[in-house]
Structure 1
Amino acid sequence: MNINSSAIDIAKRTFQNESTSIANLANLLNNQFELAVKCILQSKGRVIISGVGKSALIASKIVATLNSTGTPAIFMHAADAIHGDLGTILKDDVVICISKSGNTEEIKMLIPLIKRGKNKLIGLTGNLDSVLARQADFVLNTHIEKEACPNNLAPTTSTTAQLVMGDALAIALLEIRGFSSEDFAKYHPGGSLGKRLYLRVEDIVSNNLKPHVTLDTPVKKAIVEISEKMLGVTAVTDQGKVVGIITDGDIRRMLNQHDNIKNLTASDIMTKNPKTISSDVLAIKAMEMLRENGISQLLVLDKGKYRGVIHIHNLINEGLG
């Protein structure tokens, strides 16, 4: 153990090593990247990504990124491919092989099998003099000067470079295809990420009760309405149109100002021009409005008609908080 080395200093040195190498990838890009992107875009098949060791783990992550951004992809371990899994590759598929050295035995054995099937091969390697680089139809150069490992052995900077090149490939395909946030939502329907992209106010408000009083409703009945509907507010309407809102705060202010509330009506204590939101708006927008205005509820309208109330707790429960 080198007790003279600070853990923080080591971390900073690692960051510097990897960030410098990643920045240098921009200098290694050439028309091979554009041709590889074009090849994938024109393909009628999938992208099959293969590797061994740490490169196989990177391949799996790139596959996940491609799938989530509209490019169908499958991971195929190079060792398994030469022992029966070669059938994963269909005639229209594009194959990407990942290898730092480009001379990994499993990759070298796999290359002629891919070529025999007449599939296009993209090599993602840091060695342009390798078998993979020479045999690939297109080469994505991920060369690094050295690993972050002080012994220059453990795959660290090299796998980071592979990962970043995979991200660049996925984003290029995404943008050229015009992959939208709506498309993204189709691939991410679960969790808070998906909900930010597709969940709308109407999906939530329909599950809530609908507190409602009119201008001449006695205050006592308005308080009961707020209590029974359990949303801390009630809308005040006039001939079906929202004209105000009564909140818990309005009730407290009334009690501080009036000893006798018997003759008071909703119109006497309501707040005019309440904050509203359309039912077809994304729910995340409702959360933004609540935070911007420092309030807990919004009245929901559907083409101007009162639909109900959305509460900040509804949004937090959906993971949007």
Structure 2
Amino acid sequence: MPDSAVVRTQRLTRYFGCHAVVRDLDFVVPRGSVVGLLGLNGAGKTTTIRMLLGFLDPTRGTCEVLGTDSRHLTPQTRCRIGHTVEGHFLYPWMRVRECERFGRETHRSWDGSLFERSVRRFGLDAEAKVSWLSRGQRAGVSLASTLAADPELLILDDPALGLDPVSRRALNETIVEFSESGDRTVLLSSHLLDDVERVADRVALMVDGRMLVDTALDEFRGRVAAWVIDGDEDPTREHSMPGLVHCRSLGNRWHVTVADADEKTRQAIEQWNVNAESVEVSFEDAVLAYLSRSRVGHSFYTGAAS
């Protein structure tokens, strides 16, 4: 595994019964990056994370984390990985300060001052019991405990789900500060696209267990274009469109999203003999275009990290 790759999967596949939840996944997380792992519910994101962490064996294929096969992660390697899950499990009878002591006594490496700074960022009282805390406050304690162990790789599975805006901002700021040194890496699974856009520099988009997009976030935005077209009928049914991602109805207009638009794309639209207006595509627009046509096996980019 090259030094720049913290996570690598090759043809990673997982079946549950006859159903393939993850299929032939080729995926790289470069060192020092913040990667947003995106997809609808059931796309295979959590199953992929569980295989990366060695909690679930692949049906076939391989995955490596920090240079080690995930099926054989040693305690020494696990100490270099931080992981938080939706729900942020903590012992309800503990006070916040006792969570810090518990972490200090159970981790080989521990930064108590980092724990305290992270807890303050979420506005927490060290004497408060976990059972008294809101979901956002529990997220703050969970993230503080994970970061204080000084991991090289931070894997977050929907950490902001249900958080209020202030807690979400605190979470995003903490992720940015954690990764800014360039030698620590974050894999962030989330449905909150605006948060991903704020903190991530790469995007990995899963649809039906397959990786359709794996590229730099700015490149992803730059390679998707869109037009709004007048008409009562879907123009793509009767006419071909190179690089078509998705076409959706907006009243009596159609929003057509295309990957890697070029002169052939523009010529195709001109041949339709319709009123077409080019429109700006946001990051959210581009992601949702792919997710909206998730039953069609199309991809404009499945290359490895560059």
- Whichever structure has more helix as a proportion of its residues is 1
Could you say which structure has the larger radius of gyration? 1
Q: Which has the higher contact order (CA 8 A, sep 6+)?
A: 2
TM-score range, shorter chain: under 0.3
Q: TM-score, normalised by structure 1?
A: 0.24
- Whichever structure has more strand as a proportion of its residues is 2
